[in-house]
Amino acid sequence: MKSKNSILSFCSFFLISIACIGQHSLTFDPLKYVVQTQEFQGKTVKVRSFEKIIYVANPTDTTKQILNIYVPEEYFNGGTINGYTASNAPIFFPNKVGGYMPAQPATFINAQGGGGMGGPPSQAVVMALSKGFVVASAGARGKISPIGKAPAGIVDLKAAVRYLKFNDKIMAGDADKIISNGTSAGGAMSTLLGATGNHPDYEPYLKALGAANATDDIFAVSAYCPIINLENADMAYEWQFNQIHTFKGRGGEGTLNEAATKVSDELKKAFPQYVNGLNLKDNKGAKLVLDESGEGNFKKLVKTYIVASAQKALDSGVDLSKHNFLKIENRKVKSVDFDNYLVYMERMKTPPAFDALDNKSFENNLFGTKTIENQHFTAFSMQHSTATNASMADKQQIKMMNPMNYIGDNTAKTSTHWRVRHGAKDRDTGFAVPVILATTLQNKGFKIDFALPWDKPHSGDYDLEELFDWIKELK
């Protein structure tokens, strides 16, 4: 009997230990920090750094599913910064996702690029802290097999938001005021966070990870050049760049051959039907459309944003006189010759820009599974695939990576406030993609501050002062 009892108690100890080993605590530990300082804009920014906090109970990658949280030291002495206190400071939530790859959280010391494909170190974290924000940055899994395929990255960031909300009472900062920020694929993540708050589609994935028992809607979105709407972005790209047959980009440079030109023509031709089906309205209530040749008031709207961008540059003293594609009279930019503007921009990608016919793009890799490395995600590329045994991604997987599917879905709590920037010289995706996002948000009653900053290539975090001013004004 004695031995039976001891076996039982050994077994229960063993089982409890297994459960404990597998489960990470989701309660924030306010004592686990180091103090760090950094000189910034002539002042010393002193913070408590809580780094590498595992934010789910059952992580699959403890090098990525981690949060860095930084809190201005003043907040532990009852201080205020910029009108904020420990209890009401908004939480700035930048991610460093680029190329849909796995990402580390952003750091206060030794900051790296803001996301996207490279770029200079971002000052977003230190600047946010200097302005009194609490900063929380989560790492996330990315498209690497077997654990990182879509929707792993967005599920991780949502889980990190849940951690912040779950611990709101014991942490500095107001988790009802989370503002996400990201660039390119990281911008896509930011828009997804904003669009899909609390949507049940993600629930099984969050549950499997042991995400904290809290909501995941966020207050506001900042996104630079979000690479979104992937299943429609090939058409948008060719609608814009169809006439440009030379390309220059990450994959090298060259001239489109006859087959590629034909693909471009077909994708361009399919775009109007997509746009017309969206039922978008301009600010006077007129339906935004394109005719069969791709002309119409939707194109006019895109050009309006380019003209506004050039006007802002001109007003700030930029010399635009060399740009023959701009018509400028009395310091007013009157119009843009779009065809010649595109010659100046240059094409970067070959058609299809995202769902590559050889099934080898970043995005094909994103839409793989545990056992299939790459998959198509558009009917067009599936039909025209040149890859052997190529398969199509699951519908639901594609849906969950596109914020456009959730804006206006009543089961999602979409952020009220949005700020989207897409460089006027960014060729990683077509202008139509962010213009459709901005217009959809406007039409559905959300607040969106949208612009195409002049001459900016594919990049982010280049106007942080303006970004933080915008956040400061949000109510």
Counting contacts by CB under 6 A, is residue 98 touching ligand DHB? yes
Candidate segments 28-36, 97-105, 140-148, 296-304, binder of ligand DHB by CB under 6 A: 97-105
The binder of ligand DHB chosen from 168, 234, 355, 428 (CB under 6 A): 428
Say if CB 372 and CB 388 are below 8 A apart. no
Say if CB 397 and CB 407 are below 8 A apart. no
- Closer residue to ligand DHB in complex, CB, 206/452: 452
- Closer residue to ligand DHB in complex, CB, 256/333: 256
- Closer residue to ligand DHB in complex, CB, 53/236: 236
Residues in the chain: 475
Exposure class string for 47-78: b at 16+ Cβ within 10 A, else e: bbbbbebbbbeebebeebbbbbbbbbbbbeee
- Closer residue to ligand DHB in complex, CB, 194/226: 226
Q: What whole-number distance in Å separates Cα of residue 446 and Cα of residue 406?
A: 13
Counting contacts by CB under 6 A, is residue 114 touching ligand DHB? no
Q: How far is the CB of 141 from ligand DHB (least distance, A)?
A: 15
- Give DSSP secondary structure letters for 138-169: E-B--S-TTT-STTHHHHHHHHHHHHHHHTGG
Counting contacts by CB under 6 A, is residue 307 touching ligand DHB? no
Counting contacts by CB under 6 A, is residue 238 touching ligand DHB? no
The phi-psi region of residue 365 (left if phi > 0; otherwise alpha if psi is between -120 and 50; otherwise beta) is: alpha
Say if CB 98 and CB 116 are below 8 A apart. yes
Q: How far is the CB of 342 from ligand DHB (least distance, A)?
A: 17
Q: Tell me the CA end-to-end span of the chain in Å, nearest whole number.
A: 68
Counting contacts by CB under 6 A, is residue 197 touching ligand DHB? no
The residue sitting closest to ligand DHB, measured at its beta carbon, is 184
Counting contacts by CB under 6 A, is residue 153 touching ligand DHB? no
Counting contacts by CB under 6 A, is residue 227 touching ligand DHB? yes
Q: How far is the CB of 377 from ligand DHB (least distance, A)?
A: 12
The total of other beta-carbon atoms located within 10 Å of residue 120's CB is 12
Distances (CA, A) of 95 to 107, 114, 183, 341, 416: 10, 8, 8, 32, 20
Counting contacts by CB under 6 A, is residue 125 touching ligand DHB? no
Placement of tokens 């309205």 in the chain? 281
Size of the site for ligand DHB (CB under 6 A): 10
The binder of ligand DHB chosen from 99, 182, 226, 460 (CB under 6 A): 99
Q: Is the peptide bond before 120 cis (omega within 30 degrees of 0)?
A: no
Kindly give, in sequence order, each residue whose CB lies less than 8 Å from that of residue 271, ignoring residues fewer than 6 positions away. Answer: 235, 236, 238, 239, 290, 294, 432
The binder of ligand DHB chosen from 54, 57, 81, 117 (CB under 6 A): 117
The total of other beta-carbon atoms located within 10 Å of residue 289's CB is 16
Q: How far is the CB of 230 from ligand DHB (least distance, A)?
A: 8
The binder of ligand DHB chosen from 362, 367, 377, 380 (CB under 6 A): 362
Counting contacts by CB under 6 A, is residue 240 touching ligand DHB? no
Counting contacts by CB under 6 A, is residue 182 touching ligand DHB? no
H-helix segments, 247-296: 258-278
- Closer residue to ligand DHB in complex, CB, 227/441: 227
Q: How far is the CB of 184 from ligand DHB (least distance, A)?
A: 3
Counting contacts by CB under 6 A, is residue 185 touching ligand DHB? yes
- Closer residue to ligand DHB in complex, CB, 90/99: 99
Q: Is the peptide bond before 352 cis (omega within 30 degrees of 0)?
A: yes
Q: What whole-number distance in Å separates Cα of residue 125 and Cα of residue 243?
A: 41
Counting contacts by CB under 6 A, is residue 351 touching ligand DHB? no
The burial of 176, by beta-carbon neighbours within 10 Å (0-12 exposed, 13-18 middle, 19 or more buried), is given as middle
- Closer residue to ligand DHB in complex, CB, 160/401: 401
Counting contacts by CB under 6 A, is residue 107 touching ligand DHB? no
Say if CB 91 and CB 177 are below 8 A apart. yes
Candidate segments 1-9, 73-81, 92-100, 157-165, binder of ligand DHB by CB under 6 A: 92-100
Counting contacts by CB under 6 A, is residue 184 touching ligand DHB? yes
- Closer residue to ligand DHB in complex, CB, 221/301: 221
Say if CB 100 and CB 185 are below 8 A apart. yes
3-state SS, residue 393? coil
Q: How far is the CB of 191 from ligand DHB (least distance, A)?
A: 13
Q: How far is the CB of 113 from ligand DHB (least distance, A)?
A: 10
As a dihedral over the C-alpha atoms of residue 431, residue 436, residue 438, residue 441, rounded to 10 degrees, the angle is: -170
- Closer residue to ligand DHB in complex, CB, 99/105: 99
Q: How far is the CB of 140 from ligand DHB (least distance, A)?
A: 13
Residues at the interface with ligand DHB (CB under 6 A)? 98-100, 116-117, 184-185, 227, 362, 428
